[in-house]
Amino acid sequence: MSKGTDGSFIPSVCATIQEGSQLSGVETIREVDRRLRLCKNPEKVVGSSAYLAKKAEGERVAAERRTKKADEVRNTNGDDPFGSELGTTLDDDD
């Protein structure tokens, strides 16, 4: 690169950018778009089988968590909140 009159490379960089900034044809852009579609993560493409499988797995895990939490709530409701040990260790005489 040649230096500009003020000693910088800015004019030559500007010229290079202007030369390389010609628009591509519509077919070239379409081809690039097709290739980019192939590179997408199928788990993030709505409607793909991988997306549906991931969504179903997430729903299954959420259902398991809800069931587990409901079971824990049912099991703790019948227990004494202060623990069963207190009632067995204290005498009625005290």
* pLDDT-wise least confident of 6-10, 25-29, 79-83: 79-83
Report, as an integer, the average pLDDT of 40-64: 91
In the chain, what are the domain boundaries? 47-77
Q: What tokens were used for 27? A: 């077919």
Whole-prediction pTM: 0.43
Return the higher-pLDDT residue of 56 and 32.
Answer: 56
∠ CA 20-21-22, nearest 5°, is 100
Predicted pLDDT of residue 34: 84
Return the higher-pLDDT residue of 22 and 67.
Answer: 67
pLDDT by residue (tens digit) across 12-35? Answer: 887 877 776 666 678 888 888 888
